[in-house]
């Protein structure tokens, strides 16, 4: 799940913009006949910052292994079910990660 998210250009772009407080993001949807939405972002929360750090590491690392310790710690704070390193479904991680970042908006 994290490898796929790190290879999503739109997400990487939004995370790099979102890390700066007071940034205005323009969201356009070519499928919908809506006018573009301008959203002013506040200071990102710790989960969003950890996700940005992880995605940046995945893109810039020269070593073959990236450990998402900080991101995992932030996910565990939002969803305690992930504490303890028991096996979890990847779709549950995706849901809690995205819901957690959305809650920090």
Arithmetic mean of pLDDT, 2-12 = 87
Arithmetic mean of pLDDT, 42-56 = 89
**Conformation bin of residue 84: beta by default, left when phi > 0, alpha when psi is -120 to 50:** left
Arithmetic mean of pLDDT, 30-59 = 82
Q: From CA 50, how far away is CA 70, in angstroms rounded?
A: 6
Provide the pLDDT confidence category of residue 50 given band limits of 50, 70 and 90: very high
Q: Are 36 and 28 in contact (CB under 8 A)?
A: yes
**pTM as predicted:** 0.75
Q: Is residue 57 predicted with pLDDT exceeding 80?
A: yes
Arithmetic mean of pLDDT, 2-26 = 81
At residue 51, the pLDDT reads: 92
Q: Is residue 5 predicted with pLDDT exceeding 70?
A: yes
């Amino acid at each position: 799940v994290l490898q796929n998210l790190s290879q999503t250009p739109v997400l990487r772009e939004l995370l790099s913009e979102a890390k700066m407080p007071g940034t205005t993001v323009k969201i356009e949807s070519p499928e919908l006949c809506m006018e573009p939405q301008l959203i002013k972002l506040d200071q990102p929360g710790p989960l969003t910052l950890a996700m940005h750090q992880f995605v940046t590491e995945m893109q810039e690392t020269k070593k073959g292994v990236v450990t998402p310790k900080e991101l995992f710690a932030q996910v565990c704070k939002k969803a305690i079910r992930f504490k303890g390193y028991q096996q979890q479904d990847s779709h549950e991680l995706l849901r809690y990660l995205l819901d957690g970042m959305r809650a920090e908006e």
